Chain A
Amino acid sequence: MSGQREIGAGINVMEFAEPITGRTIFLDSPDQVLDFIMSDDVESSIVISRGGTTTFVAPALTAGVRGLMTLQGAPESHLGILSREYGIPCVMSVTFTEGVETSRGEIIPADGTLVTLDIATTPRGRVLIDDGADNG
């Protein structure tokens, strides 16, 4: 992962030997979730949601999203438990050091940002970007 730099870190739910890479999308309403799962980008996307509960992103879990990040919650949260059962990489309570502001003032990567999740160890998971990548 040389050439990449860290833009965020959180609590990694489960260890995966290999990092995963995908473009981020922030989902903030049930309608956005339903629109997202109808798109062609599900399996290449890393979804960012606010809470650590399960139900909000439930359709994304069954649709086969590549990875998950949350701004709140812990591996003991319902989403932490379910992501484990699905085998979907998930980093929770991520704090980002750069990005754009949500309507509530949270900092997150802009939609379409190509990120890599370094999830080789627990409890800490890292979010990396490559400045040379095409970030949307």
Chain B
Amino acid sequence: MINSTIRKGDVGVSEPIDFQPFIEMFMGQVPGGPEGDLEIRRRIGLDFVDTTDENVHREPTLEEVDAWIQYAAWNVWGTVAQRASEGESGLIPRQEYESLAFVQEWAKTPQLMREITEAIGVDGVIELGRTSHREVGNKINVLRNWGLPMCPLIGRGISIHLGLEDHTERQGDIASVVQFARRLQHGTFGGGSGLVSGRGFVQQTLGQEILDRFLADEERLDDPEQLGIFRKFNASTELLGFLIHWDSRAGMQDSGPYPVPGGGFMIVREHFLYETEYEWASVAEGLPYCVIEAMIFRPDVPVHVAINDLGTTFTEPRDYLKHLSGVAVYARDRVDSPMSELRRVDAAEMSAITKKSNVGMLELYKVIAGKSREQKIRDGIVVYTHDMISFHAKAAGIWDSVKTTYDDWHPLTEAAYPVLSTSRAGEILPIVLLLEGGFPTFGAKAGS
């Protein structure tokens, strides 16, 4: 069993810490990737990451919850470890708002997850998870399957690190978080590992009907001018999505790689632009809610593709776009546009969207630069806390009643603010994400 003890009240960083061994290997011991997945499962002994019809329809045991937390510690390390030391933004105090948002999510979302489950039932939650099988341009997706449990778990680790909570507290809340996420994951994948890290870093979620449509609509990019139009469109919409979502990946999602007849693969990418959940997204008014890129690659050399739980594609060699052979681009105009209204976007519209995205990005940049530091933090907390779960709550029909008080800061968040609103956030996050103690268990026996 992995030792995950933590000292309550460990609030200071008295000596510089050499993070490098903990960036290279989980706890300096376990690698990342499929090899690490096997090793961490072996060490934990009890597998609760895999979902079955049976184990998502009942309450988990404490041993199962502990086993899931232990796997989550490795998964989060692998997903964000390289990012943990990326430093400050200069525009948005990202580590500050991010760490506070994690605490707020730990304080508030377990109850909301229970309310959603009460409203639509366990099978209703599983059905929500199936959304990413039949839809694109919908934020009920794999990234949220990951963020819904991981953000509160990180917030728990921060709260304990700050001495605001004890690791033995709130067992029921952890169980609610873990099982809510597992039910969504079960709907998405239909069983087996609920996390992409246990599926060989392949995220094949979309149904064949959608994939067939995308393939049939492919337009080849043999003309360098057409390729250039698409690459600018891809980059500009991705950048605007990042900025609207406060420098987070909540505005993008990749799935795949999907095999392509005759060889090659397809990656389906979504960039969320006109997100009316946030008033500052008015800079994207006139742009689609989401643009969807079905990118077909036919490389003449081996290209290894990995898509992580955040829906980010990593390839080897890294310049995957030079192997791009064709695309089919679509728009979902509003958040509530049905899939039947998914429409094609041609090259002329791509150029127009690129132009509008660049203008909107610069406008928003100036708006953000003019905000106070505290307001930037408050806005960032709204992004994280809304973007992970509000779409599920809306689908369950309870968001309107919840949102009246949802943005009120919990006393736990208020208590963490004096520390996490400072540069200390940038010191504490790597400690929680990389070092022993960030994901403490309740101490139940879970194998050897």
A-to-B contact residues, CB < 8 Å = 13-15, 27-31, 33-34, 49-56, 58-59, 61-62, 70-79, 81-82, 84-87, 122
Asked whether B86 lies within 8 Å of A52 as measured between CB atoms, the reply is yes
Asked whether B239 lies within 8 Å of A76 as measured between CB atoms, the reply is no
B31 to A: closest C-beta gap in Å: 16
Given the known interface contacts A73-B86, A76-B314, A78-B247, the answer about A62 and B92 at a Cβ–Cβ threshold of 8 Å is no
Chain A residues contacting B314 (CB-CB under 8 Å) are 76
Asked whether A55 lies within 8 Å of B368 as measured between CB atoms, the reply is yes
A28 to B: closest C-beta gap in Å: 7
Q: Which of B44-52, B159-167, B359-367, B408-416 contacts A (4 or more CB under 8 A)?
A: B359-367
**Listed A/B pairs (8) with beta-carbon separation below 8 Å:** A28-B90, A49-B90, A50-B87, A53-B92, A61-B239, A73-B87, A79-B86, A85-B234
A sample of 6 more A-B contacts (CB under 8 A), given A15-B319, A53-B94, A73-B85, is: A14-B319, A30-B368, A53-B88, A58-B361, A73-B83, A78-B242
Asked whether B86 lies within 8 Å of A77 as measured between CB atoms, the reply is yes
Chain A: CB-nearest residue to B246: A55
Asked whether A72 lies within 8 Å of B365 as measured between CB atoms, the reply is no
A84–B317 Cα gap in the complex (Å)?
A: 12
- B59-103 CB mask vs A (1 if < 8 Å, else 0) is 000000000000000000000001101111111101000000000
Asked whether B365 lies within 8 Å of A53 as measured between CB atoms, the reply is no
Chain A: CB-nearest residue to B238: A85
Asked whether A55 lies within 8 Å of B86 as measured between CB atoms, the reply is no
Asked whether A82 lies within 8 Å of B239 as measured between CB atoms, the reply is yes
B49 to A: closest C-beta gap in Å: 22
B231 in contact (CB, < 8 A): yes
Q: Which 6 A-B pairs have the closest CB atoms?
A: A72-B87, A52-B86, A56-B90, A51-B87, A76-B82, A30-B369
Given the known interface contacts A30-B90, A75-B318, the answer about A54 and B247 at a Cβ–Cβ threshold of 8 Å is yes
Chain A residues contacting B85 (CB-CB under 8 Å) are 72-74
Chain B: CB-nearest residue to A70: B87
A75–B319 Cα gap in the complex (Å)?
A: 12
B9 to A: closest C-beta gap in Å: 29
A58–B238 Cα gap in the complex (Å)?
A: 11
B4 in contact (CB, < 8 A): no
B352 to A: closest C-beta gap in Å: 15
A73–B90 Cα gap in the complex (Å)?
A: 13
Complex partner residue of A82 from B82, B238, B318, CB under 8 angstroms: B238
Asked whether A51 lies within 8 Å of B319 as measured between CB atoms, the reply is no
B312 in contact (CB, < 8 A): yes
